Chains A and B, each alone.
Chain A
Amino acid sequence: MMRTFLKRHGLKLVIHLGALVPAVVMALQLARGSYLDPIRQMTTASGNTALALLGLTLTCTPLARLTGFRAVLRVRRPLGLYTFSYAALHLLIFAGWDYGFAWDLLIPALFTQRFVLAGLAAFVILLALALTSTRGWQQRLGRWWKRLQRWVYAAAGLVVLHVLLLSKTPDKALRYGIVLVLLLVLRWVPARPSAQGASSAPVTKD
């Protein structure tokens, strides 16, 4: 019985537990005062986690298509929602902790700094995708739902731009950009026969 449970839910368990690890590590580091610059280091840590989770989310579809391993499609939605959660934490630290919700500073910060604009645009897309990720919205939007969810690639592109615009050197953004292009290209690779229709499997299917 335990074996069937793990076989059915093992991957989801790993995702749910794994996605919480960065938050726990951040909370512990903060609590014991081991961040020398907590604002910047927590901003970076939450941002990097969101980025890594976004990469994993985008890997699900190509992985299912190429290997026929369709179980990964069932963790696509939780991965996407965790991505959104860390992005929201990232934004909250920036606006609330760093800038103290001081709108007289935040509004100029948004319009004079393109990296903020790119990051916020990516967040707005992720917010829309998170809100419409439920089964109800999937049915309401019908065929438009899938088109909407494909905007995740635009969000990922904006995130790469965000990293490029805020870094002193471009190498990190270039690495992420290459990974993103690779993931996009993999969508055009024909699916394995055994996995026909894998990419069209409903994301919310449990």
Chain B
Amino acid sequence: MVPIRPSEITPEHIYLSRRKFMLGLGAAALLAACGRLPDTPEATVMPEGAATSEALSTPRPTPTQKPDIKTAFDAVTGYVNYYEFSLDKEAAAILANESLQVSPWTVTVGGLVNKPRVFDIEEILKFEQEERVYRMRCVEGWSMVIPWLGFPLSRLLKEVEPLSNAKYVRFQTLADPEQMPGLGDMTFPWPYIEGLRLDEAMHDLTLIATGIYGWSLRPSNGAPLRLVVPWKYGFKSLKSIVRIDLVEEQPTTFWMAAGAGEYGFWANVNPEVPHRRWSQANERRIGETRRIPTLLFNGYADEVADLYPDLTNKDWFF
């Protein structure tokens, strides 16, 4: 595997200024062409404290077979799974961007910790933010390459001081029927719950994202803060977090409860282990035309494989 060279990635100050120009151009063209862009990117504001270029560290190279090309901004923000809004990917993005109120916002961090605390979103944005270019592999068989802004979850967890009997972290997405029409679908066990083992949560790759492409997160991507765990299938990386609890027992996640035995807790990417009904051997990169092979741990095996003893145990990939 040849890692992408830092020189192949546009420095952020250049792409930021170029983006502003391109976004304006793109938005104008799109609006002129079809008038279906719900919210022009110019309306997006940089998060306080994340806007300064000093706060951004050097983009981290993504381990991959060939240089990753960042997925287009419009696809990353306009094509999402956000079932709280709609089962349709484009409709979900439009509805979320129209109606999700991301301010004021608080995140309650508690459970088995020394210092339980309610964080205001402004306090979350005061954590030093850096850019991470990660691959995102959806369990449905498609993938993207996304430049996130954020900080390792471990820094947030260290603030609240997990107790020694805390073994897992349980995350919860906002579930407000006033804002989220999809919650009316009673076949799902709302709210959206996800979980990680504590050492997975403390891993340096595990990110709390607050921004995307140098901008603050769009509601469609899970504003104002979301989880990003790049070596697991995308559904583990839950959006719009309102609650984080340190717990002793493995949490039952949304998809474990909803998926009729088709989704497990670990959900680590592995091309050799198919989903119950479809293959995971290759993937479609959004914006590219040829299928590419899926990699073990989504290409992050060097970093995370030692979290899992005995990789022949297929449970890790279910």
> What CA separation (Å) do A114 and B281 show in the bound complex?
15
Asked whether A166 lies within 8 Å of B291 as measured between CB atoms, the reply is no
Question: Please, which residues of chain B bring their CB within 8 A of the CB of A97?
Answer: 289
Asked whether B286 lies within 8 Å of A37 as measured between CB atoms, the reply is yes
Question: Please, which residues of chain A bring their CB within 8 A of the CB of B259?
Answer: 168
Binds B, one of A71-79, A102-110, A175-183: A102-110
Any chain B CB within 8 A of the CB of A17? no
B-side interface residues, number (CB < 8 Å): 27
Any chain A CB within 8 A of the CB of B74? yes
Asked whether A169 lies within 8 Å of B187 as measured between CB atoms, the reply is yes
Asked whether B291 lies within 8 Å of A37 as measured between CB atoms, the reply is no
Interface residues of A in 106-149 (CB under 8 A from B): 108-109, 112-115
Interface residues of B in 121-144 (CB under 8 A from A): 140, 142
Given contacts A36-B78, A168-B140, are A102 and B291 in contact (CB under 8 A)? yes
- Pick the residue among A32, A33, A36 that contacts B90 (CB under 8 A): A36
Asked whether A39 lies within 8 Å of B284 as measured between CB atoms, the reply is yes
Interface residues of A in 23-67 (CB under 8 A from B): 32-34, 36-37, 39-40
Given contacts A34-B34, A34-B36, A40-B284, are A98 and B75 in contact (CB under 8 A)? no
> What CA separation (Å) do A113 and B286 show in the bound complex?
21
Any chain A CB within 8 A of the CB of B282? yes
Question: Please, which residues of chain B bring their CB within 8 A of the CB of A115?
Answer: 277-278
Any chain A CB within 8 A of the CB of B105? no
Encoded as 1 (CB less than 8 Å from any B CB) or 0, chain A from 153 to 178 comes to 00000000000011011110000000
- Pick the residue among B36, B142, B279 that contacts A37 (CB under 8 A): B142
Asked whether B289 lies within 8 Å of A100 as measured between CB atoms, the reply is yes
Asked whether A105 lies within 8 Å of B291 as measured between CB atoms, the reply is yes
Question: Please, which residues of chain B bring their CB within 8 A of the CB of A36?
Answer: 74-75, 78-79, 89-90, 286
Given contacts A36-B74, A115-B278, A168-B140, are A100 and B90 in contact (CB under 8 A)? no
Chain A nearest CB from B267 CB (Å) reads: 14
Nearest residue (CB) in B for A164 is B277
Any chain A CB within 8 A of the CB of B33? yes
Nearest residue (CB) in A for B80 is A36
Question: Please, which residues of chain A bring their CB within 8 A of the CB of B286?
Answer: 36-37
Asked whether A112 lies within 8 Å of B291 as measured between CB atoms, the reply is no
Nearest residue (CB) in A for B36 is A34
> What CA separation (Å) do A32 and B278 show in the bound complex?
32
Question: Please, which residues of chain B bring their CB within 8 A of the CB of A98?
Answer: 284, 291
Any chain B CB within 8 A of the CB of A99? yes
Any chain A CB within 8 A of the CB of B184? no
Asked whether B282 lies within 8 Å of A37 as measured between CB atoms, the reply is no
Encoded as 1 (CB less than 8 Å from any A CB) or 0, chain B from 285 to 315 comes to 0100111000000000000000000000000
> What CA separation (Å) do A100 and B260 show in the bound complex?
33
Any chain A CB within 8 A of the CB of B6? no
Chain B nearest CB from A94 CB (Å) reads: 11
Nearest residue (CB) in A for B278 is A113
Any chain A CB within 8 A of the CB of B274? yes
> What CA separation (Å) do A33 and B90 show in the bound complex?
14
Question: Please, which residues of chain B bring their CB within 8 A of the CB of A40?
Answer: 142, 284
**Max chain B C-beta neighbours (<10 A), residue from A39, A97, A100:** A39
Asked whether A109 lies within 8 Å of B290 as measured between CB atoms, the reply is no
Nearest residue (CB) in B for A102 is B291
Asked whether B277 lies within 8 Å of A113 as measured between CB atoms, the reply is yes
> What CA separation (Å) do A115 and B75 show in the bound complex?
26
Asked whether A165 lies within 8 Å of B284 as measured between CB atoms, the reply is no
> What CA separation (Å) do A108 and B187 show in the bound complex?
33
Chain B nearest CB from A159 CB (Å) reads: 16
Question: Please, which residues of chain A bring their CB within 8 A of the CB of B89?
Answer: 36-37
Asked whether B289 lies within 8 Å of A37 as measured between CB atoms, the reply is no
Interface residues of B in 70-106 (CB under 8 A from A): 74-75, 78-79, 87, 89-90
Chain B nearest CB from A67 CB (Å) reads: 35
Question: Please, which residues of chain A bring their CB within 8 A of the CB of B79?
Answer: 36-37
> What CA separation (Å) do A33 and B36 show in the bound complex?
12
Asked whether A108 lies within 8 Å of B279 as measured between CB atoms, the reply is yes
Question: Please, which residues of chain B bring their CB within 8 A of the CB of A105?
Answer: 281-282, 291
Chain B nearest CB from A202 CB (Å) reads: 41
Of the A-B pairs whose beta carbons lie under 8 Å apart in the complex, a sample of 10, sorted by A's number, is: A36-B89, A37-B79, A37-B89, A37-B286, A39-B284, A102-B291, A105-B291, A112-B278, A112-B281, A171-B187
Known: A97-B289, A105-B281. 20 other contacts (CB 8 A): A34-B33, A36-B74, A36-B75, A36-B78, A36-B79, A36-B286, A37-B79, A37-B89, A37-B142, A39-B289, A98-B291, A100-B290, A102-B291, A108-B281, A112-B274, A113-B277, A114-B277, A115-B278, A168-B140, A169-B87
Q: Which 6 A-B pairs have the closest CB atoms?
A: A36-B79, A36-B75, A112-B279, A113-B278, A165-B277, A36-B78
